Structure formats: C-alpha cells, structure tokens
Amino acid sequence: MRRWTAVPAALVLMGAGTAAAPFTAAAAAPPAAVAQCPTGWGSLPEDRAASGIRPLADVRTGAHPCYDRLVLDVPGTSAARPAGYHVRYVDALVQDGSGRTLPVGGGAILEVIVLAPSYDPATGAPTYPARAGQPLPGVDLTGYRTFVDARFAGSFEGRTQLGLGVRARLPFRVFQLDDRLVVDVAHSWTAGR
C-alpha cells in the first residue's frame, strides 16, 4: 500500500511542476515597449486668427498612449484655411456674454475657444446640439488618464467656448487637420510615461 500512495503523490508533484513551468516562462518574458511620447509642448496660451465663419459640427475625444485628444469638427477648414482659436489655462470657466462662472471638474481648466459658431449663421439652426454648462454630448471620459470633464460654455458672436477639465496643468498642443481642429493634452511633463 505504501507504494501506491507514493506514486500518486509523485505524479501530483510532477504535474504541479509542469503547470508552473509555463507560468514562469511567461513571467520572464521581456516587458512591452514603452511608448515614446513627444516632448517640447508647453502650457502657455495658443492663439490663431482666421477669417471666415464655418459652423462647428461635432466635438469628440480620444485616448492615446501619451495624451488625450479633443477634436472639434469644423467642415471646410484645413491647414490652408484654418479655424481660428484661443486655447489657454484659466482659473475658472467664465461664459462669454453672460460672465457666469461654469463649474468644470479636474485639477486645471483648459479653455478652448474656436472661432466657429455652434449654429448656422444664416438660419440660426443649431449645428452642434449642446447646452451651456452641460457635459459635451456623446463624450464619455471614462478611462481617460488626463481628461476629467468636458463642458460646453456656449456659442456667442461666432465663437464657441468649451471648458476641458484636466488632471493637472499639463502641456498641450493645438493643430489643424482637414475639417478638424485638434487639441492634445499630454499625460505628463516627461516623455515615456
């Protein structure tokens, strides 16, 4: 009887050793490559003057390995015919026209003003269905590393104002692509994080 109890115990131990081998090999695999993040961005205001009024069609966001992105869809704009903008950190989001302070969550507030109304200037019909003081329609910031809150402040005299709540005062960049204005806010001040 002693032999039979020794054999199953030995088989169990051999099986345990075999099961542990793949786990050990996987644990020893090299770590995934760290994203190489751009550097050289800053936190000072960025402005661009532009003529021509094209309505804002949509606002959306995206999470990237190095930054979170805000995209303002302004059809008819391009690098050659850019949308004008004013992007800067502010202590509070003060609504153009009314002077009312709007709450925005986060450790810092990035005010984004695009020189594009959220309505058709010819008819007054809304082109972007947002309400002042409310979160941006269709924007869900769950899981974002930098963006905390995104609020619509309003559209006044051909300018649309947004408040972007971010984790802290972090570097950002603004640039124009075909039919859209892009604002990227980095996850940190140093590359590779």
Euclidean distance between CA atoms 73 and 89, whole angstroms: 22
Structural domain contains residue 79: yes
173 located within any domain? yes
Look at residues 101, 67, 105, 99 and name the one whose alpha carbon lies nearest to residue 192. 67
Let me know if residue 95 belongs to a domain.
yes
Q: CA 164, 168, 171, 173: dihedral to nearest 10 degrees?
A: -10
Q: Is residue 108 part of a domain?
A: yes
| CATH number of 113's domain | 2.60.40.3500
- Domain assignment present for residue 6? The answer is no
With a pLDDT cut of 70, the percent of the chain lying above it is: 79
Most confident of 21-35, 129-143, 178-192: 129-143
Q: Residue 37 domain-assigned?
A: no
Running DSSP on this structure, what letter comes out for residue 9?
H
The arithmetic mean of pLDDT across residues 55-84, rounded, is 95
Give the SS3 label for residue 111: strand
Instruction: Kindly report the pTM of this predicted structure.
Output: 0.80
**What residues make up the domain containing 54?**
46-186
Confidence category of residue 39, pLDDT binned at 50, 70, 90 = confident
The Cα–Cα gap between 181 and 1 comes to 80
Provide the mean pLDDT of the chain.
85
Q: What's the total number of domains in the chain?
A: 1
